[in-house]
Amino acid sequence: MSSTRYAIYYSPEPESDLWLFGSRWLGRDSATGDELKRLAVKGISPDRVQEITATAASYGFHATLKPPFELAHGHDLEMLDEALEAFAASHEPVTLSALELAELDGFIALRPGKHSAPLQHLAADCVREFDHFRKPPSELELARRREAALTDAQSKMLDAWGYPYVMDEFRFHMTLTGRLEADERKTVLAELEVHTKDIVGKPVRIDVITLMQQLSTGEPFEVVKCYPLISMSQAQWPRQKTQ
């Protein structure tokens, strides 16, 4: 039986250059639910572009802080909302160094050029402080995760937090493609360098966290609500949705 899943992400401010690029590249605006015409890639058909971005598009343009989870028994969306409000009010924004295009395990993503301890702490706090909302994964889900040839450290994270790439294993990134063969990855990367020339090389301020929702298996994730970190005004998020 399909169940609703939630995730806590960083999503860029709507209408920012970063958000507009990411939404057009993936072909979907997860804040509005609108389907968008994807950016073209020379040498690759539009159908293939859609194929290589389909998985990333289903999650929306984002960087994961707390990976997707079903709500544990005794918890509901209202409780999660209240906890997120309190969390955002007690955490300061984080400014990252310039973003860069990177190849990560065969896929392409945007990531910071330098390590950021405050960002690592923010992500770790998200994982830790909202973990009681997380329904433990099934043995089938754990087994599927372990098929990825996890390291010992990643296996420990999976057992402790239900996901292998958290805490010390966390790498902030904004996914742009699925895994690609080397030649195709080189072609796509060259095109992305053109499309991101006004984005890479500039710092990014993480001043909001976003609650995303997937109503059922196979459905895309969509923005539920955005939570400004301390200094950011709620008025700066006119497209915020509430429930």
- Strands 222-228, 28-29: pairing is unpaired
Give the pLDDT band (50/70/90) at residue 223.
very high
pLDDT number for residue 155: 93
Would the pLDDT of 73 be above 90? Answer: yes
pLDDT number for residue 19: 93
State the burial class of residue 44 (Cβ atoms within 10 Å of its Cβ: 0-12, 13-18, 19+).
Answer: middle
pLDDT number for residue 14: 83
Would the pLDDT of 243 be above 50? Answer: no
What tens digit of pLDDT does each residue of 9-66 get?
999 988 889 999 999 999 999 998 899 989 989 989 999 999 999 999 999 999 999 9
103-17-206-204 Cα dihedral, nearest 10 degrees:
60
Give CA–CA dist 39/26, Å, rounded. 8
CATH architecture of the domain 5-119+171-233 equals Alpha-Beta Complex (3.90)
Q: Is the dihedral of CA 222, 228, 232, 236 positive or negative?
A: positive
What tens digit of pLDDT does each residue of 75-92 get?
999 999 999 999 999 999
Give the pLDDT band (50/70/90) at residue 166.
very high
Instruction: Pull the structure tokens for residue 119.
Output: 């960002």
pLDDT number for residue 72: 96
DSSP 68: E
Q: Report DSSP letters for 167-226, one per residue.
A: GGG----EE------HHHHHHHHHHHHHHTTTTTTS-EEE-EEEEEEE-STTSPPEEEEE
Q: Is 108 helix (H, G, I), strand (E, B) or coil?
A: strand
Mean pLDDT of the chain: 90
Give the pLDDT band (50/70/90) at residue 235.
very low
Nearest to 4 by CA among 214, 231, 240, 239: 214
Contact yes or no for 227/85 (Cβ under 8 A): yes
pLDDT number for residue 2: 54
Q: What proportions of the chain, in percent to the nearest 5, are helix, strand and coil?
A: 35, 25, 40
Give CA–CA dist 30/210, Å, rounded. 11
State the burial class of residue 149 (Cβ atoms within 10 Å of its Cβ: 0-12, 13-18, 19+).
Answer: exposed
In the predicted model, what is the mean pLDDT of residues 85-110?
94
pLDDT number for residue 107: 95
Instruction: Pull the structure tokens for residue 199.
Output: 């984005």
DSSP 41: B
Which stretch of 12-16, 95-99, 101-105, 126-130 has the lowest confidence by average pLDDT? 12-16
In the predicted model, what is the mean pLDDT of residues 118-136?
96
State the burial class of residue 142 (Cβ atoms within 10 Å of its Cβ: 0-12, 13-18, 19+).
Answer: middle
Report percent pLDDT > 90 for the chain: 77
Give CA–CA dist 19/210, Å, rounded. 13
pLDDT number for residue 231: 61
